[in-house]
Amino acid sequence: MSNDTNSALLKRAKDGDRDALGNLLNRYRPYLRILALRYLDSGVRSRVDPSDVIQQTCLDIHRDIDGFRGAHEAEWIGWVRRILENNVNQVIRRHIQAQKRTVRKEAIVDQSSKAHRIRNAGPVSNESSPSQRVMKGEQAVRLAMLLGKLPKDQREALRLRYLEGKTLQQIADRFERSEMAVAGLLKRGLRNLRELGGSESRF
């Protein structure tokens, strides 16, 4: 992988360097995955692999990069996130259509409302969400990259606890482990994260 900074890769990508764009998107995949997992609830994920949404987002970025008018990484992050959100909306709408014959009308309206909130406010619009403070801007991308280097169970536990705000009991139920075991998993994950990234690894 290139040793260039994200800003340098972005500049080259805007100038038409497709290799630079590919390297940049590889760095962003952990960030996109965290967002996709956050946006797609378990019902949708049972039908759609978040990786498919990420892949479509990367294809859209390759197709539309000439239309990106920003100059800074923060602008790029916002642009990329909007493309992902649009793809999430499409997935949710397809999911709603697939569920119409089997799910009560009230549940469909709830899913539709969720799609509307994402479309109009973006998934980071909830100010009280634990991830509101974390998953914004360039630091969010760095943090996602660091999380991607952790063992899968530690990465997932940290994501559920600090990005989705799940309780220890909820995580224990998901992992089919005790709360004490989950607490130990979180402790090891945080320690490893600090060793990898120092101050950038703080939730």
Judge whether 25 lies within some domain.
Answer: yes
- How far is the C-alpha of 105 from the C-alpha of 102, rounded, in Å? 9
Q: What global pTM score does this model have?
A: 0.67
* Same domain flag for 182 and 120: no
Query: pLDDT tens across 62-88, in order?
Result: 999 999 999 888 899 999 999 999 999
CA 158 to chain centre: 13
DSSP per position, 153-196: HHHHHHIIIIIS---HHHHHHHHTS-HHHHHHHHHHHHHHHHHH
* Same domain flag for 39 and 112: yes
Q: Which of 102, 132, 162 is the last residue of a domain?
A: 132
Judge whether 15 lies within some domain.
Answer: yes
* Same domain flag for 83 and 154: no
**Strands in the chain per DSSP E:** none
* Same domain flag for 26 and 108: yes
**Model confidence at 195: pLDDT above 70:** yes
Determine the pLDDT at residue 102: 62
Judge whether 143 lies within some domain.
Answer: no
Determine the pLDDT at residue 32: 92
Residues spanned by the domain of 97: 6-132
